[in-house]
Chain A
């Protein structure tokens, strides 16, 4: 394959992945939660560690660990589906009336594609997010951070197989996390 072909393959993949992530954000912001759930692989791990202030050079202790430690989120599809079900009861008072939410997804970077860029079945992708939440009257949260996603092709469509959410906060500045990242 020529260098030019290779670059075109990368471009196409990057565009494909970015469009998928923007489309996902659209579903969340339009409260189409059932359609959003359908984008998640059955074995998804959805993980948002907590972050500590640690000494320079001790970065490995900055994040709480998946599975063993307490995190903000660390769960699979069953729990995520229950969260959606809870919102859809219409009596989940922390989301009733529902929040106005906008996901801004930027800095999309393909980190790895396997088995190849031209024929990618799994893609590791990083991005930045800015989530704006406004609810009731003046209550407003801004949550900014990074995401590390593993996307997998299933029957021709991308599915999210792993999501690590790195929120750039220590003490959580929001009273609750009733929405998805």
Chain B
């Protein structure tokens, strides 16, 4: 190591045939620097939710990779994502976490920008610049593309990147599970107020691969299962529906997105949950019935942890959260966790869920606490010269994924492994790192949009 590389990621560092991945990709400074260029400057990243900025002039701080960004709604109502850095000398033009404003004014030399990003105020423009500065060229840096998908705001710095729906591909339905109402109505989820932000001393890929669908680490959560924080008042963390479903690892191979997915049997109703809280139980029973009416067979899909490449985590069931793993150097990650409820849910339901969310997730969450301990010391113990010589193994289920998986009439696209009986596979991690290696080696989106090559080849036949 020692020099930045643009080749040799696959199969060198990421050997999918043997399922071995070098520790270097987690701990190496040069690889980390290269990731900023090749992944975070090109991929679609989650920035926030429209419910954070309902009114003209509303803004909220966010981040994209290492960059500080402002998510805001301009005076005309349009949503923007700007680099939070003055064009003149780089100072942050906003250091509040949220608010409402007509301008973003840099405290250093006083340059001021409208909520549409235009440079509107330059001190001594007439005197010092002799009225010659072309202000139209010096607005805030804006992302190349932004997408408001059912309220979730995603953005990319790369003008050549495919549209966000194309970037998602067959993964769209799993993001839908996150953002639609529990009753299946479109885009009915809203954020609870307050985004948890905390630092963990590990590489960002530790949480990314964990949320890709690590079902193997359940043992690390045994203590919380013993203490009992289940949403139904039971000791288990999960819901009864999981006991009657098929449990799958679903990977979208050319996109790098993957998730755990539960598929209910045909014609079976979701078991009643939250029996110890009648209003909540009734609400969810009502929603489940509505969903079956609205979506039919589609209501059989039940979400679970998943990951949109590279660093956006989903959890569409309970606790219903999204997270972003912001890279902060190879050895540190700033975790941001967002919590969702149905917009129209009764306040009793929102409060019940909120209680459950914060005792489960985040730095004080009785489940997530143990994850952070593992990521911290797994990372620390992988940094040494000797440790780096020994790759991690991701062998579980190599060669066993099926295309066009089907269960009682429900077709699930992608590479799928049914883990109901076998408990675990590492297909999701292999899918993540395959895509990671592609990003690290590909020169442009022409190479990265592999599905277009396949479609062109199919059309030519």
Q: Using a CB–CB distance below 8 Å, which chain A residues touch chain B?
A: 48, 50, 52-55, 58, 61, 64-65, 67-75, 79, 82-83, 85-86, 89, 91-95, 136, 139, 170-178
Residue B215, interface by CB 8 Å: no
- B97 and A91 contact, CB distance less than 8 A: no
- A75 and B355 contact, CB distance less than 8 A: yes
User: Given A93-B373, A171-B198 in contact, is the A54-B99 Cβ separation under 8 Å?
Assistant: yes
Within 8 A of A (CB), among B206-236: 220, 222-224, 226-229
Query: C-beta contact mask, B359-398 vs A, less than 8 Å → 1, else 0?
Result: 1001110101110111011000000000000000000000
**Complex Cα spacing A50 to B223, Å:** 26
The tally of CB-CB contacts under 8 A between chains A and B is 133
Closest to B373 in A: A94
CB distance from A139 to the nearest CB of B (A): 8
Q: List 24 A-B contacts (CB under 8 A).
A: A64-B193, A68-B192, A69-B192, A69-B193, A70-B362, A73-B358, A74-B358, A82-B366, A85-B228, A86-B223, A86-B366, A89-B222, A89-B223, A89-B227, A92-B224, A93-B220, A94-B370, A171-B334, A172-B198, A173-B198, A173-B199, A174-B363, A176-B198, A177-B364
**Complex Cα spacing A176 to B198, Å:** 8
Closest to B235 in A: A82
- A175 and B358 contact, CB distance less than 8 A: no
CB neighbours of A171 from chain B (8 A): 197-199, 334
Q: Using a CB–CB distance below 8 Å, which chain B residues touch chain A?
A: 95-99, 192-201, 220, 222-224, 226-229, 334, 339, 347, 350-351, 354-355, 357-359, 362-364, 366, 368-370, 372-374, 376-377
**Complex Cα spacing A92 to B229, Å:** 14
- Of the candidates B99, B193, B227, the one having the most CB atoms from chain A within 10 angstroms of its own CB is B227
- B223 and A92 contact, CB distance less than 8 A: yes
CB neighbours of A91 from chain B (8 A): 222-223, 226
CB distance from B363 to the nearest CB of A (A): 5
- Of the candidates A65, A67, A91, the one having the most CB atoms from chain B within 10 angstroms of its own CB is A91
**Complex Cα spacing A154 to B232, Å:** 33
CB neighbours of B339 from chain A (8 A): 70
- A53 and B194 contact, CB distance less than 8 A: no
User: Given A82-B228, A136-B377, A171-B197 in contact, is the A71-B99 Cβ separation under 8 Å?
Assistant: no
**Complex Cα spacing A93 to B220, Å:** 7
**Complex Cα spacing A86 to B347, Å:** 29
**Complex Cα spacing A82 to B227, Å:** 5
User: Given A94-B369, A172-B363 in contact, is the A70-B192 Cβ separation under 8 Å?
Assistant: yes
